[in-house]
Amino acid sequence: MGKKKNTASGERLYKAFIYVVLIALAVTIIVPVAWVFMASIKENSEFYGNPWALPKGFYWQNFVDAWNSANMGSYMLNSVMVTALALGILLIVALPAAYCLSRFRFRGRKLLNTAFMAGLFINVNYIVVPIFLMLRDGDLWLRKVFGNGFLLNNLVVLAVVYAATALPFTIYLLSGYFATLPHDYEEAAYIDGAGYGRAMWNIIFPMAKPSIITVILFNFLSFWNEYIISMTLMSSATGQKTLPVGLLNLMQAQQSAAEYGIMYAGLVLVMLPTLILYICVQKQLTEGMTVGGLKG
Amino acid sequence: MFSVAAGRRTARRVSVDLGKEQAVMKKDRKMSGFLVLCLAPAVILFFIFMIVPTFNVFRISLYEKGAYTPDETFVGLANFKTLLTDASFIRSMQNMILLVVVVTIITFAFALVFAGILTREKLKGQNFFRVVFYIPNILSVVVISGIFSAIYKPENGMLNSIIGLFRDMTNPILWKGQSLVMVSIIIAMVWQAIGYYMVMYMASMASVPQSLYESAGLDGAGRLTQFFQITIPLIWTNIRTTLTFFIISTINMAFLFVKAMTSGGPNGASDVALNYMYSQKDAGLYGYSMAIGVVIFLFSFALSALVNKVTERETLEF
């Protein structure tokens, strides 16, 4: 009897301990993020006192300044364009390829599958320098022939590079799903007189909607948040930039100028879209994890 | 390429009925056309932006090629010879290895333990914890480095102001100073990675049948024994795959964090190999930069092969 009581109270102690640890971990995540939101509406003079003081009021001027004078508005537009374009290209290219690689037998299929699998191990940032050199050399050549190069400092090229380097992961994820579908669907469609393209487009793609959404989510996050490739390929000091690169420049400038308010407003502008998206689709994202486990 | 070959092969195989053969060939050609149409864009993009650059990393490493010299000269392994005596490079490799080892161990230990707790215990607010722990993973590294510079700021940063409650802060702790900078980066990287892996292991641990734990409990196995004897062995395949990819991604993440948080400073104290490669590219030394790239490539392949080998176990079914 006494022993039982003992284990029961031990049990309760264990549970309390677990709660304390979990809550502590949650706090270390929530508090810094919330702090940035709070700091983004503080006036500059408020940054010299206690960092935990609540803002005196809503100083929206930080956002106006970040949007206009720090160029965050146009950077955001660039980011939206690049992300949307890269996602579009990626889906148009990867969906049919993944479909063929997983559902047709042809010579060279094994080689292609292995090549794309190997691509999973190549990290984009390992090859960002040769990509840059290739585009630079291309520009030099274009300038010689046409008098004008357009490969560097070009948002469209950046989107193409994003899409191309996301192919291995996306094809891997999509083929995994396509391979699980029974072949009867296409057989039935062929008998009804549909061609290969029609069967793929009208029968298979609609069925793959959940995994297509997973692909869009993961790649949206990686394109939106990416900054190394963007910084390298859009290196012109006066040219267009994507939001994270603009923010990074702002952060490095703020270290001397001490206009913290604008910097934190910029941080909020970068993370707000991803946070909103996350709140809307958090179930999809954390459940897509098992398939997305190999994200580079 | 493959379409023609496939067509020829089928043509050779089907040779009985001429009419039938024609029909098959027609269908076959249609299929080949479809395959080429579907696969060509992906193959071309993949080839231009992944295969060729990868090949170029290795090729350019053998040349002396710079931003200000139009030509490239073949120098053999000279770039690699310089690397061996480059103290900055050696330090950047050491830092990279330190980050990979420490961040991997801490992240996996915490992620597995927390996932084990959250799946096994009946706790209130499980979903809340899962949602919160995943948040750092959706933020850009640039944002995270911004958040952490607010945390690490020497005067009135979040961390120092809390520590200041307990001790005198006339000499504030310099979190990004020479001696602590690596610790600070490790904390930021673990903060970012832990939730993602926790959520993933929760998914795979949830598939372990409850009955195994019940019978183990009847046999008198405690929580720890159950965790190490049942949970870990049963999801070992998953741990193994994720470990390999985590190591490769940590080499990359270390670069992203260092570039955004410290740019390798102060005085190169937090430099990692990829960042050093990038800074050599910025300095215009392309050949040398790519020699570093080759070392990183080989290192990451060797390390994943090693991890793959070391973690090999018999697969358990349940």
The C-alpha atoms of residue A244 and residue B260 are separated, in whole angstroms, by: 10
Determine, for residues B45 and A167 on separate chains, whether the beta-carbon distance falls below 8 Å. Answer: yes
Contact A285, A277 (CB under 8 A): no
pLDDT in tens, chain A (296 residues): 444 556 778 788 888 888 898 899 899 999 999 999 988 888 877 777 777 777 877 878 888 888 888 888 999 999 999 999 999 999 999 999 999 999 888 888 899 999 999 998 888 899 999 999 999 989 888 988 888 888 888 999 999 999 999 999 999 999 988 888 888 888 888 888 888 888 888 888 888 888 888 899 889 999 999 999 999 999 887 778 999 999 998 888 766 666 788 888 989 999 999 999 888 887 766 665 554 444 43
Round the CA-based radius of gyration of chain B to a whole number and report it: 27
Q: Is-cis flag, bond preceding B41, omega within 30?
A: no
Residue entry with tokens 């050399």: A137
The C-alpha atoms of residue B126 and residue B123 are separated, in whole angstroms, by: 6
Round the CA-based radius of gyration of chain A to a whole number and report it: 25
Task: Confirm whether pTM is higher than 0.90.
Answer: no
Domain range enclosing A274: 66-294
Question: Is A32 inside a domain boundary?
Answer: no
Chain B residue numbers with beta carbons less than 8 Å from the beta carbon of A125 are 252, 255-256, 274
The C-alpha atoms of residue B67 and residue B75 are separated, in whole angstroms, by: 17
Note the CATH number of domain B78-310.
1.10.3720.10
Contact B261, B185 (CB under 8 A): yes
Determine, for residues B142 and A244 on separate chains, whether the beta-carbon distance falls below 8 Å. Answer: yes
Interface test with B, best of A17, A44, A123 (most B CBs within 10 A): A123
Chain A residue numbers with beta carbons less than 8 Å from the beta carbon of B145 are 251
Q: Point out which residues pair with B74 in neighbouring strands.
A: B63
Determine, for residues B114 and A25 on separate chains, whether the beta-carbon distance falls below 8 Å. Answer: yes
**pLDDT band, very low/low/confident/very high, at B1 (cuts 50, 70, 90):** very low
Question: Is A103 inside a domain boundary?
Answer: yes
* Chain A CB within 8 Å of residue B169 CB: no
Question: Is A122 inside a domain boundary?
Answer: yes
How many domains in chain A? 1
Question: Is A15 inside a domain boundary?
Answer: no
Residue entry with tokens 């000091």: A237
Determine, for residues B129 and A112 on separate chains, whether the beta-carbon distance falls below 8 Å. Answer: no
Question: Is A287 inside a domain boundary?
Answer: yes
Question: Is A289 inside a domain boundary?
Answer: yes
- Give the ranges where A40-127 is alpha helix by DSSP (H): 61-68, 72-103, 109-119
The shortest CB-CB distance from A274 to any of B48, B138, B286 is to B138
A143 CB neighbour count, 10 Å cutoff: 12
Interface test with A, best of B34, B96, B143 (most A CBs within 10 A): B143
The C-alpha atoms of residue B8 and residue B209 are separated, in whole angstroms, by: 52
CA distances from B2 to A109, A112, A146, B7 (A): 8, 11, 36, 8
Q: Which two tokens stand for residue B230?
A: 């049942």
Question: Is A51 inside a domain boundary?
Answer: no
Q: Which two tokens stand for residue B196?
A: 């993602």
Contact B254, B272 (CB under 8 A): yes
The shortest CB-CB distance from A271 to any of B35, B45, B139 is to B139
Q: Which two tokens stand for residue B221?
A: 């196995």
What residue spans define the domains of chain B?
Answer: 2-60, 78-310
The C-alpha atoms of residue A40 and residue A53 are separated, in whole angstroms, by: 13
Q: How far is A97 from chain B (nearest CA, A)?
A: 5
* Chain A CB within 8 Å of residue B133 CB: yes
Q: What is the CATH number of the domain that holds A71?
A: 1.10.3720.10
Q: Which two tokens stand for residue A249?
A: 């420049």
Q: What is the ipTM of this complex?
A: 0.87
